[in-house]
Amino acid sequence: MADPFSILNVSGPYREPREPVLSYDYSVQRPTWPTPHSVRIKIGIPDEMDCFKVKILNVSGGSPGQQLKLSQVLSRKLADRKLDIANAEGLFSTRLDVMVPPFTGPLAYLFPQLERWMHEVSSTVRKEIQDTIGI
C-alpha cells in the first residue's frame, strides 16, 4: 500500500564504515504528518550496485573521475527506486526514523522488484551515462 509522500531533501552518497554500502539520507514528509522524518537508504555495492553496473548495464572502463561520477549517478537512481519500493511495502508508514538496508538477507524478497526495474530502465540509463559521463 503506497502512501503519498514528498521528498524535502536528499544528502549523500555516504560510504558506510565497516560495510560495503553507500547510503543516502532522505527527509520525507507525508500530508498527515506535522513534521518530516528521515529515511536512510543503503545501497549494497557488491549486491545491488555491481549488479546494475556490470551485469545489466555492462559498463566498464573510464578514468577514476568518470568511475566516481558513474557510482554517484547509479547509486542515486537505485536509492530513489528503493525508497519507492520501501514506501509500497509500508516500511516507513509510521512516523519513525527508518533505515532501509540492502535488499539481501531478510529483505531479499524485494530484490526481484529492484532488478526488474533495472532491466526496464537500462537503455535510458545507458544513454544518460554515455551522454553525461562519456563511458
Distances (CA, A) of 113 to 23, 27, 130, 134: 19, 24, 25, 29
Q: Structural domain of residue 66, as residue ranges?
A: 6-132
Q: What is the pLDDT of residues 80-106, one digit of tens each?
A: 999 999 999 988 877 677 899 999 999
Instruction: Tell me whether residue 13 is in a domain.
Output: yes
pLDDT, tens digit, 9 for 90 and up, residues 24-82: 999 999 888 888 999 999 999 999 999 999 999 988 888 899 999 999 999 999 999 99
3 phi and psi angles, rounded to 5 deg? -100, 145
pTM: 0.92
Residue 108 maps to a domain: yes
* Domain-embedded: residue 1: no
Residue 38 lies in a domain: yes
Count of structural domains, the chain: 1
CB 123 within 8 A of CB 64: no
Domain presence at residue 117: yes
